[in-house]
Structure 1
């Protein structure tokens, strides 16, 4: 009985070592790499978002200046075409920013799915297969 218990204990320890080496250490590496990647991706997203936002704000500011100029002018109709161009530019920049944000959400969601689905991969299946191993060497009573 003591010998069987010792064998089971040794097999259990071996399984735990394999579990640590195959799964936990791989997960630690993956988490570290993911943290680096996500930091870089966030920084890139923020820079691009800021750039697009500043471009939009600049156009809006220029449109405000033009409208003030046209209100103080004796001939406001001469600014109509230029004002229309600014409105179209602002509209296109706003839609560009909106699509950029939507694409960012999609990317973030797919990255999150990819990260949370990792533990269901091959290492877990190996662990499930090895779960049956300790009982293979035990003689039936």
Structure 2
């Protein structure tokens, strides 16, 4: 089961028209696509500053490889920025959303993004439905 961090705009009110379209879910997991296609993933997520830093680091590593002649094993070092992006992509996205004026509204655990959205909106809008199974001594939430 995946964990999703939910962000909503600071000025939006729950239930307001257009509010639900502005809610953003960030999956808290290793980004496998970023491991192989880091620059494309950064561009797809509109992380311009991170893309610029990534490009500068890769250019410096390539320049070091060409000028110093470190050997073919140094080519593996070129994958280190990709690994960093794959590990830190959720953090980069959270920081960007915070900078854009979003605030963290909660954390949801679900298998897919659609299920996470459903659970969040049910809990946030107070539909009365229990968002998931309750663990503990009592079989139902809110009973004694």
Does TM-score exceed 0.5, indicating one fold?
Answer: no
Output the TM-score relative to the length of structure 1: 0.38
Greater Rg over alpha carbons, structure = 1
- Structure number with the higher strand fraction is 2
- What TM-score do the two structures reach when normalised by structure 2? 0.38
Larger RCO, structure (CA 8 Å, separation 6 or more) = 1
Normalized per residue, the structure richer in helix is: 1
